[in-house]
Structure 1
Amino acid sequence: MPTIAVTDSSFENDVLKADKPVLVDFWADWCGPCKMIGPALEEISEELSDKVTIAKMDIMANTDTPANFGVKSIPYLVLFKNGEQVAHKLGAAPKSALKGWIESEL
């Protein structure tokens, strides 16, 4: 399953009320490291689609949710389970490191 786009208005339903874990990638179009990990997150989303949904939130178009979670730097990845934030990771990393981190937190 490809990554999904979430917005301030869809965040509650798409992330907090989701029936499986959701990893949210807070990103922006001008962010070089965000662009670097984007393709890896798309691949991971396909590979782990039965275990986790990977969502992307553009912090420039959606300012309320990032502010609520204290996002100050990007890329910022937050894993939610049962509507609760359970893990977070700041910065870019190779695909293998990202996938390993996600799997270890699921």
Structure 2
Amino acid sequence: MAARVSKADFDDKVLGSSLPVLVDFYSDSCVPCKRMSPVVGDVEDEREGSLSVYKVNINFDTELAEQYDVQSVPTLLLFKGGAEVARQSGAVRKDALNAWIDDNVK
């Protein structure tokens, strides 16, 4: 399961990562977020060593949600080299998520 990241360690773990990073902005009360959790977990397991995965709970880390203009959850942000390279809102199937990652981390 993806580790939580907060404002305190976001720069180090996400922006400073040598690997591409998938960040899942979610809320505990969001049903689509709950459906995405195992999908994100599977992707994390399958891509271990080539992709880092973190979660941001927008209820506790509102500053990060505002900084990255997250308007709805779930929202997935993909970072590479310390910069956001892609954004996906809403629940998606694992195959679609993997294709989206592949398309954006070339």
Report the TM range for the smaller structure's normalisation.
over 0.9
Aligned-pair CA distance for 1:98: 1.0
| Matched ranges for 1:16-55 at <5 A | 16-55=15-54
In the alignment of these two chains, the number of paired residues is: 105
Q: CA RMSD in A?
A: 0.9
Paired amino acid for 2:75: Y
| Structure 2: distance between partners of 1:105 and 1:55 | 17
Q: Which runs of 5+ in 1 are unaligned?
A: none
Aligned-pair CA distance for 1:38: 0.4
Aligned-pair CA distance for 1:103: 1.8
| Structure 2: distance between partners of 1:77 and 1:40 | 12
C-alpha contact 1:26 1:74 (8 A) present in aligned 2: yes
| Structure 2: distance between partners of 1:49 and 1:86 | 20
C-alpha contact 1:8 1:63 (8 A) present in aligned 2: no
SS in 1 for 2:87: strand
Paired amino acid for 1:12: D
SS in 2 for 1:97: helix
SS in 2 for 1:100: helix
Aligned structure 1 segments of 4 or more residues deviating by more than 3 angstroms: none
SS in 1 for 2:8: coil
TM-score, normalized by length of structure 2? 0.94
Q: Which residue of 1 aligns with 2:101?
A: 102
Aligned-pair CA distance for 1:50: 2.0
Q: Which residue of 2 aligns with 1:81?
A: 80
Identity of aligned residues (%): 35
Q: Which residue of 2 aligns with 1:72?
A: 71
| Structure 1: distance between partners of 2:62 and 2:31 | 19
Q: Which residue of 2 aligns with 1:62?
A: 61
Q: Which runs of 5+ in 2 are unaligned?
A: none
SS in 1 for 2:91: coil
| Structure 2: distance between partners of 1:20 and 1:95 | 20
